[in-house]
Amino acid sequence: MPVLKTIALFIVTAIAEIVGCYLPYLWLRQGHSAWLLVPAAACLALFAWLLSLHPTAAGRVYAAYGGVYIFTAIAWLWLVDGIRPTQWDIVGSTVALFGMAIIMFAPRV
């Protein structure tokens, strides 16, 4: 799978997971409707399905996905929560992305 397609799939996967967790948060912490649990469950099912689309071993995909999830969660912090990331948020998510790249794209012997 080409590098950009892999990264894009990871980002879409992370968005599905974050939305699937954010909607129950809105219900539990901000008093929104419990009906938000329906699309939340759909998003979490989509998240699991998207992870299965990668053609490499599941453990490697889960490990590498964590790096993209961290980056996407920091972007969510800024774009949705309206909180500007600190320099340490940016450094940490960059390190996580480098870790993802090493895990997913290093030559296999």
Mind listing the pLDDT tens digit for each residue in 2-50? Answer: 888 988 999 999 999 999 999 999 999 999 999 999 999 999 999 999 9
| 79 token code pair | 């774009």
Q: C-alpha distances in angstroms, 20 versus 60, 61, 62, 74?
A: 23, 19, 17, 16
- Which string of b and e fits 86-107 if b means at least 16 CB within 10 Å? eeebeeebeebbebbbebbeee
The reply to whether the predicted model has a pTM over 0.95 is no
Instruction: Calculate ∠ Cα 51-89-53, nearest 5°.
Output: 10
- Domains of the chain: which residue ranges? 3-105
Mind listing the pLDDT tens digit for each residue in 75-102? Answer: 999 999 999 999 999 999 999 999 999 9
Per DSSP (E only), the strands in 1-109 are none
